[in-house]
C-alpha cells in the first residue's frame, strides 16, 4: 500500500470515528494520533493524513453542501458514515487541495469506498465525484497541480531527450474517470 493511500485510509477512519461519535469539537487530533499509532506506528507521511483531516474539518460546511447538491436523493444523514466520509475526503482533495490531481482524488476515493463501504459504494462515490468534476472550472481542472508542475520541470531538466507532454482534453479526462 502506498504512503498516500495509507494516509487517506487513516484520514477516512479518523473522520469516520469522529462522525460516528457526534463530531465533537477538539477530538479530531486525538483520534488521528490514536489511529496513526494503532495502524501505522512507523508511518513517515503523517503530515499528509493530518492535512486531509484538518482540510476536511476546515471546509466541512462547504463539503457537506456539495454532497447535498450533487447527491440530492440522499440526505446527508442517510448516507452511510463510511460513504459520507469517503466523499468528504474526495471532495476535499478534488475541490480544495490543488496538490492532488482530480483523477487521483476520484480514483483514490473509489478505492476507499470499495474497501470500506458497501456493495454499491464505489459506484455511488464515482457518480458524485464525477459529477462534481464535470462542473469544475474546465481551465482549473485541466491545469496540472503544483506538484505535477514541479515534477514536469524536474523531468524536463533531467531528461536528455525533449518530448512534448501528452495532453488530454477536458472531456477526455471526465470520460476516462468513469
Q: What is the DSSP string of 50-110?
A: HHHHHHHHHTHHHHHHHHHHH-TTS-GGGS-HHHHHHHHHHHIIIII-TTS-HHHHHHHHH
Q: Give residues with Cβ within 8 angstroms of 128, minimum separation 6.
A: 67, 70, 71, 87, 90
Question: According to the model, what pLDDT value does residue 144 have?
Answer: 46
- pTM over the 0.85 mark: no
d(C-alpha 73, C-alpha 77), whole Å: 12
| 108-125 per-position pLDDT tens digit | 999 999 999 999 999 999
> What does the pLDDT average to over 91-111?
94
* Domain at 3-156+169-176, CATH homologous superfamily: NusB-like (1.10.940.10)
- Please identify which residue in the block is written with the cell numbers 440530492: 72
> Domain residue spans in the chain?
3-156+169-176
Amino acid at each position: 500500500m502506498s504512503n498516500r493511500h495509507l494516509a487517506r485510509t487513516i484520514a477516512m477512519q479518523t473522520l469516520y470515528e469522529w462522525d460516528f461519535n457526534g463530531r465533537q469539537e477538539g477530538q479530531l487530533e486525538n483520534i488521528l494520533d490514536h489511529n496513526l499509532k494503532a495502524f501505522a506506528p512507523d508511518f513517515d507521511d503523517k503530515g499528509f493524513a493530518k492535512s486531509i483531516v484538518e482540510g476536511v474539518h476546515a471546509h466541512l460546511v462547504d463539503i457537506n453542501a456539495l454532497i447535498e447538491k450533487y447527491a440530492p436523493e440522499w440526505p446527508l444523514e442517510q448516507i452511510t458514515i463510511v460513504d459520507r466520509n469517503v466523499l468528504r475526503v474526495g471532495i476535499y482533495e478534488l475541490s480544495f487541495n490543488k496538490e492532488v490531481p482530480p483523477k487521483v482524488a476520484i480514483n483514490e476515493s473509489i478505492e476507499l469506498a470499495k474497501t470500506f463501504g458497501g456493495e454499491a459504494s464505489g459506484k455511488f462515490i464515482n457518480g458524485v465525484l464525477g459529477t462534481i468534476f464535470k462542473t469544475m472550472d474546465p481551465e482549473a481542472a485541466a491545469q496540472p497541480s503544483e506538484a505535477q508542475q514541479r515534477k514536469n520541470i524536474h523531468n524536463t531538466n533531467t531528461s536528455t531527450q525533449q518530448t512534448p507532454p501528452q495532453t488530454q482534453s477536458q472531456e477526455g479526462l471526465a470520460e476516462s474517470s468513469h
